[in-house]
């Protein structure tokens, strides 16, 4: 794994860092990605399981699938990649995580500024009256529950195919991207829009783009640095190189 010293130099003078993350960052925690080898959408139907029409057609099936995914998420832990992203807050004035993931692992790893573009699997809401429900309430519920206020259908608070992203969150993510000095693109195939506009917004505003992925993606030819490898190995290495520099600076300032 080659990390250019030039990139470390750029990081030393950066103030604002943005991480744009996807399913690949959680792969090392044991959560399947959607595309590529072993990807969920190679074996399951996104139309059936992750669309409004799919839910209306068979709400119990979709509910069951989300309950299954929640169980997996509950049984996993944030990995080194999530933890190092949280640790970046020690070195930089501003660190924002814009994630397409719904697994809540960035929060559990300790990141403070997280913008969830596709919602969060740990929340539900009533489709009729919009009352929110935490995941705990329905932990053992096998069939889709009904709202206790209005009897409406309760669904996971995630963005399905064809649905709008939460507009305020997306607008804030675009602003943060445009304000960032360095934008890391970690573990995403970068094919799902509008989310994939985030790194493009960063680039258009002059940010340096750094991709970390086990393979090349749709965005590789637009980035300044493409680092091929696992997020849970590369991020700690970058952090280590940066921390050595900060330590030297600190030591020098003592004399």
Question: Which stretch in 9-17, 128-136, 210-218, 241-249 sits in contact with ligand APR by CB under 6 A?
Answer: 210-218
Contact 101, 89 (CB under 8 A): no
Torsion of CA 174, 178, 180, 182, to 10 degrees: 100
CA distance 160 to 237: 35
CA distance 175 to 192: 19
- Nearest approach, Cβ of residue 249 and ligand APR (Å): 30
215 binds ligand APR (CB under 6 A): yes
Residue 78 in the binding site for ligand APR (CB under 6 A): no
Nearer to ligand APR, 94 or 237 (CB): 237
Distance CA 57, CA 137 (A): 24
Tell whether residue 3 is a contact of ligand APR (CB under 6 A).
Answer: no
Q: Catalytic residues, which ones?
A: 118
Which listed residue (28, 103, 157, 181) binds ligand APR by CB under 6 A? 28
The total of other beta-carbon atoms located within 10 Å of residue 208's CB is 19
Rule CB under 6 A: choose which of 31, 213, 227, 242 binds ligand APR.
Answer: 213
Site for ligand APR (CB under 6 A): which residue of 100, 111, 124, 208? 100
User: Of 181 and 211, which CB lies nearer to ligand APR in the complex structure?
Assistant: 211
Residue burial 131-153, b: 16+ Cβ < 10 Å; e: rest: eebebeebeeeeebbebeeeebe
Give me the count of residues in the chain.
255
What is the Cα–Cα distance from 73 to 59, expressed in whole angstroms? Answer: 21
Please report how close the Cβ of residue 151 comes to ligand APR at its closest, in angstroms.
29
- 36 versus 152: smaller Cβ distance to ligand APR: 36
Q: Is 187 in the site for ligand APR (CB under 6 A)?
A: yes
Indicate which single residue of 14, 20, 33, 111 sits in contact with ligand APR (rule: CB under 6 A): 33
Q: Is 36 in the site for ligand APR (CB under 6 A)?
A: yes
If one asks whether residue 54 binds ligand APR (CB under 6 A), the answer comes out as no
Candidates 89-97, 125-133, 145-153, 184-192; binding stretch for ligand APR (CB under 6 A): 184-192
76-97 in b/e form (b: 16+ CB < 10 A) is bebbbbbbbbbbbbebeebbbb
Q: How far apart are CA 188 and CA 36, in angstroms?
A: 10
198: left (phi over 0), alpha (psi -120 to 50) or beta: alpha
Does 189 bind ligand APR (CB under 6 A)? Our answer is yes
Nearer to ligand APR, 38 or 143 (CB): 38
Shortest reach from residue 227's CB to ligand APR, in Å? 9
State the greatest distance between any 2 C-alpha atoms of the chain, in Å, as a whole number. Answer: 70
* Residues that bind ligand APR in the complex, under the rule CB under 6 A: 22-24, 27-28, 33-36, 39, 100, 118, 187-189, 192, 212-215, 217, 230-231
């Amino acid at each position: 794994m080659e990390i250019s010293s030039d990139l470390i130099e750029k990081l030393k003078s950066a103030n604002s860092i943005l991480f744009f993350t996807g399913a690949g960052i959680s792969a090392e925690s044991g959560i399947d990605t959607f595309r590529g080898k072993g990807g969920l959408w190679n074996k399951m139907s996104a139309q059936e399981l992750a669309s409004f029409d799919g839910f209306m057609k068979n709400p119990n099936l979709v509910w069951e699938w989300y309950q299954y995914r929640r169980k997996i998420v509950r049984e996993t832990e944030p990995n080194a990649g999530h933890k190092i992203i949280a640790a970046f807050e020690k070195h930089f004035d501003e660190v924002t995580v814009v994630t397409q993931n719904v697994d809540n692992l960035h929060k559990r790893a300790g990141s403070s500024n997280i913008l969830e573009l596709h919602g969060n699997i740990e929340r539900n809401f009533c489709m009729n009256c919009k009352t929110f429900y935490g995941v705990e309430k329905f932990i053992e519920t096998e069939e889709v529950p009904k709202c206790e206020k209005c009897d409406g259908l309760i669904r996971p608070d995630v963005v399905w195919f064809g649905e709008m992203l939460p507009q305020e969150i997306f607008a804030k993510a675009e602003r943060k991207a445009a304000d960032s000095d360095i934008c890391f693109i970690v573990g995403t195939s970068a094919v799902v829009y509008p989310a994939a506009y985030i790194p493009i917004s960063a680039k258009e505003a002059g940010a340096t783009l750094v991709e970390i992925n086990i393979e090349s993606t749709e965005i590789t030819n637009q980035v300044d640095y493409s680092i091929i490898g696992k997020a849970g190995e590369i991020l700690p290495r970058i952090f280590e190189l940066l921390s050595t520099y900060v330590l030297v600076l600190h030591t020098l300032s003592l004399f």
